[in-house]
Structure 1
Amino acid sequence: MLSLRAVNHYYGNQHSLWNVDLDLPPGKCTGVLGLPGMGKTTLINCITGHLPIESGTMFWHQAGAPPCDLRPMPAANRTALGIGYVSQERRIFSQLTVEENLHIARKAVGGCEAMSSSDIYRLFPQLYVLRGHKSATLSDDNQHQLALASALATRPRLLILDEPTRGTGQAYIHKLGNLIVRLSQELGIAIMLAEQSLPFIRRVADCYCLLHRGRNVAQGAMAQFSDPLINGWVPPETER
């Protein structure tokens, strides 16, 4: 589990995250909601090590090991520790094939720790069909599948998804929802889902954290995410 307590971040003189508390337990999907500019991606970058935090704590808890302080740890070491990340930009190698992209991802953690190719293709059968194709030739939906498969190839204990429904089709969104539920409930992966789509979060998330201007103004079990709360903090146009 990852535990954040009183995390603060600044862009220059701008206070972007204000005393954020968040727990990401194994086997649960936590939906982090908020409009653009409210701090979702900043929070993700602090967790992945791409941005430093000004104050607060970030501790990684793993069974049989003492808590690990993430603050001094570079981004690459956090990946090796078990934090997988799929950004909005997807960050795949466009001139390499699907198979080559997955090979590079698996090498990042070593063969013995990585997920096998057969396991990856069982989760993403469409990628098996396309395994010899260059990534640049794939559809947007299949490029997102490849980015997600590359993250899963490292066998993460925490998987972070930044706006995964953005720019994807409805058929893929439905498939993605099923996969997220399977990853959390069957494989026990902790999932942090930064999203604006309320129907999608309501479908797949167990818990929620609502960010507004860098503050987590509400959080709890998804069943507690009531209409009055939505009307108070989330405009209706985000319910897509």
Structure 2
Amino acid sequence: MLELNGLDGFYGRSRALQSVSMDIDEGDFFSVLGRNGVGKTTLLRSVLGLMSRTSGSVKLDGMELNSLPTHARALAGIGYVPQGRGILPAFTVRENLMIGTFAAQSGQGEIADWVLELFPILKEFLNRRGGNLSGGQQQQLAIGRALLSQPKVLLLDEPTEGIQPNIVEQIEDVLIDLNRTRGLTIVLVEQNLTFARRASNRFAILDRGTVAVTSGIAQLSDDLVHEHLVV
């Protein structure tokens, strides 16, 4: 589904991601783990073409994306929920959701009922400005907007960070259901190891911009956590 081969990501002249290679299969729930500053967000931004420069290969369903601009990668089937959510605060919930439909292969301009069923609060607040939502509601909005692009792969950058516990549980359950029931391929950057272990079937640990470990989630031992993740 998503193949990275020798992927480098640059901020100006500084190489922040170094020869990263990984294969993410269709239907995977793949967690990218690591301490702060090791390149997790950089990895997602490199896949999206949001870095100053990238080199190497990014393929989606065998199609090379690394020469394409970000909007073309979204149209090819990559959905993205950034750290900080990235919603437009002056736009209503409805308008924020509509933006997601512009990257969809079909049904542009239509907000699918099933997305509103995942997050009923969005339906209730369709005419409320995004900036007036709580942090957890904004995260639900960001995920709903990404889903409306009809992605083949959904990239999520710490979707549970800074959110009240009851909404964290709702978001976790929705993401797991999307993967298990709808077969959506998910790549998750997350500090919450409990969630990563519960949701994922595979993982990779990044260290200083390179892949230190990749394996099935059952192999995420306490020794690996202590070596690569504990501050």
Question: TM-score scaled to structure 1, two decimals?
Answer: 0.90
Is 1:57 the counterpart of 2:61? The answer is no
Query: d(CA) in 2 for partners of 1:68 and 1:212?
Result: 28
- Give 1:166 shift: 1.0
Look up the equivalent residue of 1:46 and give its one-letter code.
S
Matches within 5 A, 1:195-234: 195-234=190-229
| Aligned twin of 2:112 | 117
> For residues 229 and 100 of structure 1, what CA distance do their matches in structure 2 show?
44
TM-score by length of structure 2 reads 0.94
1:19/1:56 contact within 8 Å kept: yes
Report 1:43-122 matches (<5 A).
43-51=43-51, 54-61=54-61, 67-109=62-104, 111-112=106-107, 116-122=111-117
Q: Structure 1 residues 74 and 176 mapped into 2: Cα distance closer, same or farther (>3 Å)?
A: same
Residue 2 of structure 1 aligns with which residue? 2
1:30 match: secondary structure = strand
Alignment-derived partner of residue 27 in structure 2: 27
Question: Residue 97 of structure 1 contacts residue 132 of structure 1 at CA under 8 Å; is this kept in 2?
Answer: yes
Which residue in the other structure is 1:145 paired with? 140
5+ residue gaps, structure 1: 62-66
Question: How far 1:53 moved relative to its partner?
Answer: 5.2
Paired with 1:104 and 1:15, the residues of 2 have a C-alpha distance of: 32
Distance 1:193 1:111 in 2: 26
Q: Residues 69, 110 of structure 1: CA spacing in aligned structure 2 closer, same or farther, 3 A cutoff? A: closer
- One-letter amino acid matched to 1:173: V
**Per-residue deviation, 1:122:** 1.2
Quote how far apart the aligned CAs of 1:116 are.
4.1
The alpha carbon displacement at 1:138 in A equals: 0.7
* CA–CA distance in structure 2, aligned partners of residues 108 and 7 of structure 1: 25
Instruction: Decide whether aligned partners of structure 1 residues 129 and 45 sit closer, same or farther in structure 2, where only a CA change above 3 A counts.
Output: same
Paired residues for 1:155-234 under 5 Å: 155-234=150-229
Confirm or deny: 8 A CA contact 1:114 1:154 kept in the other structure. no
CA distance in 1 between counterparts of 2:211 and 2:219 reads 15
Over the aligned positions, Cα root-mean-square deviation in angstroms equals 1.7
Taking structure 1 as reference, are residues 52 and 12 closer, same or farther at Cα in structure 2, changes over 3 Å only? closer
Name the CA shift for 1:39/1:59 in 2 (closer, same or farther; >3 Å): same
Q: How many residue pairs are counted as aligned between the two chains?
A: 231
Distance 1:87 1:54, change over 3 A: closer
Mark the CA change 1:12 to 1:134 in structure 2 (over 3 Å): closer, same or farther.
closer
Flag structure 2 segments of 5+ consecutive residues without an equivalent. none
Identical-pair percentage: 33
How far, CA to CA, are the matches of 1:114 and 1:132 in structure 2? 16
Residue 135 (1) aligns with residue 130 (2): yes
